Structure 1
Amino acid sequence: MSSSVTIRDYKLYKATAALKKPIADATHTLHEISFLVLRLQLENGIVGESYLLSFQYSPAAIRGAFKDLLPHIKGYAAHETGKVIKKIDDLSEYFGNQGINRWAQAAINIAMWDAWGKYLGQPVNKVLGTHRDKCSIYGSGGWISYSVDDLIEEVSGYVERGFRAVKIKVGSPNWRTDLERLRLVRDAVGREVNIMMDANQGMTLPAAIQLANAARELDIFWFEEPLHHQNFDGYQSLKQQTGISLAMGEREYDTLPLVSLLQRRAIDIWQPDLLRIGSVEAWRESAALANSYHVPVLPHYYKDYDVPLVCSVPNGLGVESFDWIDPLIDQPMLVKDGFAYPHEGPGWGFNFIDELLTEIVL
């Protein structure tokens, strides 16, 4: 069996989603919504696929990481994900195992899981073991660059589609501007819809405390990344002074920050990013660590991967939704009445449409 499921070849592609105008949060302005799509071909012809969100950032660097790492995975079997993680860790150690090489490692790992699921004829969540058949999903966006009309149109659209929670960006130069936008969103969606706020590390501790206290009347479900992600004492202070639920994790490449936050009782929701943390295995390890402290998991961005993963762990709370890849893939995820359902096809259950991909020569 091993020879038929070994990795024979690979190709890398780029895909781009439509973006009418730049969008901005408290710390970034995005001019492009783009993705790198990796395909691994096995000896038996099965193709495992993965993608990562790249925006306009460091295109030469991430392509270079793939160029450096991909030749070393040929000959490994699709199920030998742990061996490949060890191989890539060894190759990356000199310049650092965190950062850009970790993204390439994760893309390879995700594509291997896709290929292995396709070989078994089973979805990834069934291969891993299923705790639930669906999970909650919230509508994300609410960019600081939006006009008030744009903001209300987006959150109202999510509610009309059956979403029961929405998240908007905060971290304006004056926190009172954020508060007013939050009030308008609450008026638009009503009291039955959860509202979350995300500062993308763009606030000072005093401003975050002011906003959290002032927004208490609006029943904010959680406050995401108000401070620099390594300001553990700041998060502890924010929690102690406001009592607001705090959500973090998308910036982390390992679980050491999670441990620091857990020990300070300064995190309420763990949000691992599958591509940054490096693999399905590392994602699940972090979820297990969070579960040992009774902290739920609600990961960052990658809903088409995260729904199966959340359904495979006991402390999965839900997932984040952007629609960016939906027009680019053959099987958009089923989202209904505030819930998302894992793809039913083998592997991850979806593939990018060939005609929308541009091959990248490595």
Structure 2
Amino acid sequence: MKISEVKVTKLSSKEFYERDALAVKGGAEHFMDVAVVSVVTSNGEIGYGEAIAYGILDVVSTTIEKIYRPLLLGEESSNILGLWNKMYKTTFRLGRRGVTISSLSGVDIALWDLLGKELGSPVYKLLGGERRRIRGYITGGYYRQDKDMEKLLEEVKGYIEKGFTSVKIKIGGLSVQEDMKRLNAIRENFGNSLNIAVDANNVYDFNTALKVGRELEKLGVMFFEEPISTDLPDLSAELTRALDIPIAGYETASTLFEYRDLITKRSVDIVQVDASWNGGITEMVRIGNLARAFGLPVVPHYSAGGISFVASLHSALVIDSPIIEYHLRYNPLRESLAGEAIRYENGEFLPPDKPGLGISLDERVIEKYRVE
């Protein structure tokens, strides 16, 4: 079908910011800003995607509507790879990281949703993925002034009670000693049956990351995420050689080309990709295939709205991901943008079974959080 329109709906939740958005000590990262992309065909069918838009909703919206929309109008919606290349080609003067790729990702996800609806198949089946369950891990342990050790342990206990046996805890916002005290308390209270990963969000220099990594090894931590800057792949490679704990990253990279360097340099032991950030479903599957060729697992990243998670879930079913990230912190734009496409039992996510992404948007929530 021919593409007749491309639109962006800007959504933002201040409640998310006020309740539990703290990833670093002393301040929230952002409101929960989500750009929902709608690609409409000549027969009225609509495909939905999501672009990460933390603090830059207007920029993402303008990028899609002014740069990508004119390239797409009148094109065949099923020509997804051709349209991806066409959009990517326009970025060579604008920068091939950040907002241009996140915006492209939202469009790409919407095109796959459209194709699945047109052919009556879930996206992962179109791409040859296996119908199976994927184990999830829950990211938490965010810093808050009112979150003492007791509340941290209560939080982790809540994840376990929901059936999850793997958690990821934020580190890097306190001293190394304070962070290790938090991790030791989790290990002592829940034992070795709980898998613990950590996320430093690029905050350490090499020497600090090496010191922290050696402490994490003593605790049997599952992986050490983004210990240093994404801009330093050679130093990250040195870190992977120096430590036994797997180094995971870097979701702040963009497209197959940047991941090519991370993978071939062996800058990571675990590749993390996000469909709504790194180039869409198209690029996430490409990155997954490259990682497989080098014997590296792909563990999808997640931190935004519900469409983002579902898009990565479909991709994960194609590239044989062993585990996927999820959040249970308050986020009104998670299930409300995904509906029954997000289902889990005993800590495992069930594959979506409806055509396309399988999502069902709650229009009441969209109207409540819409930004004009």
* TM-score clears 0.5: yes
Could you say if the C-alpha distance between residues 72 and 265 of structure 1 is closer, same or farther in structure 2, counting changes exceeding 3 Å?
Answer: closer
Superposition CA RMSD, Å: 2.1
Q: Report the identity percentage.
A: 24
Question: Counterpart of 2:276 in 1: which secondary structure?
Answer: helix
Paired position in structure 2 for 1:201: 202
Could you say if the C-alpha distance between residues 255 and 51 of structure 1 is closer, same or farther in structure 2, counting changes exceeding 3 Å?
Answer: closer
Amino acid paired to 1:346: P
Q: CA shift at 1:332, angstroms?
A: 4.8
Paired position in structure 1 for 2:245: 244
Could you say if the C-alpha distance between residues 107 and 31 of structure 1 is closer, same or farther in structure 2, counting changes exceeding 3 Å?
Answer: closer
Answer yes or no: is 1:10 the counterpart of 2:6. Answer: yes
Question: Counterpart of 2:164 in 1: which secondary structure?
Answer: coil
Could you say if the C-alpha distance between residues 168 and 355 of structure 1 is closer, same or farther in structure 2, counting changes exceeding 3 Å?
Answer: same
Aligned residues: 355
Paired position in structure 2 for 1:32: 31
Paired position in structure 2 for 1:127: 126
Amino acid paired to 1:305: A
Question: Counterpart of 2:60 in 1: which secondary structure?
Answer: helix
Aligned 8 A contact 1:230 1:257 in 2: no
Paired position in structure 2 for 1:333: 342
Matches within 5 A, 1:151-162: 151-162=152-163
Paired position in structure 1 for 2:181: 180
Answer yes or no: is 1:65 the counterpart of 2:68. Answer: no
Question: Counterpart of 2:135 in 1: which secondary structure?
Answer: strand
Paired position in structure 2 for 1:304: 310
Amino acid paired to 1:277: N
Q: Which piece of structure 1 moves more, 325-334 or 272-281?
A: 325-334
Could you say if the C-alpha distance between residues 188 and 53 of structure 1 is closer, same or farther in structure 2, counting changes exceeding 3 Å?
Answer: farther
Measure, in 2, the Cα distance between the counterparts of 1:54 and 1:274.
13
Paired position in structure 1 for 2:45: 46
Amino acid paired to 2:57: P
Paired position in structure 1 for 2:305: none
Q: Which piece of structure 1 moves more, 220-229 or 97-106?
A: 97-106
Q: CA shift at 1:300, angstroms?
A: 0.9
Matches within 5 A, 1:226-305: 226-301=227-302, 302-305=308-311
Measure, in 2, the Cα distance between the counterparts of 1:268 and 1:113.
29
Give the structure-2-normalised TM-score: 0.89
Q: CA shift at 1:357, angstroms?
A: 1.6
Question: Counterpart of 2:5 in 1: which secondary structure?
Answer: strand
Q: CA shift at 1:79, angstroms?
A: 0.9
Paired position in structure 2 for 1:189: 190
Where does the alignment leave 5 or more consecutive residues of structure 2 unmatched?
Answer: 303-307
Q: CA shift at 1:94, angstroms?
A: 2.0
Where does the alignment leave 5 or more consecutive residues of structure 1 unmatched?
Answer: none
Paired position in structure 1 for 2:357: 348
Q: CA shift at 1:285, angstroms?
A: 1.1
Could you say if the C-alpha distance between residues 330 and 255 of structure 1 is closer, same or farther in structure 2, counting changes exceeding 3 Å?
Answer: closer
Question: Counterpart of 1:319 in 2: which secondary structure?
Answer: strand
Aligned 8 A contact 1:125 1:312 in 2: yes
Measure, in 2, the Cα distance between the counterparts of 1:356 and 1:11.
18
Q: CA shift at 1:171, angstroms?
A: 0.5
Measure, in 2, the Cα distance between the counterparts of 1:59 and 1:224.
27
Q: CA shift at 1:265, angstroms?
A: 3.3
Measure, in 2, the Cα distance between the counterparts of 1:209 and 1:93.
36
Q: Which piece of structure 1 moves more, 252-261 or 344-353?
A: 252-261
Q: CA shift at 1:132, angstroms?
A: 4.5
Q: CA shift at 1:108, angstroms?
A: 0.8
Deviations 1:293-335 (A, max 9, x none): 1101111104311222111124x22211024301444325111
Amino acid paired to 1:342: P
Answer yes or no: is 1:210 the counterpart of 2:214. Answer: no
Question: Counterpart of 1:195 in 2: which secondary structure?
Answer: strand
Aligned 8 A contact 1:26 1:199 in 2: no
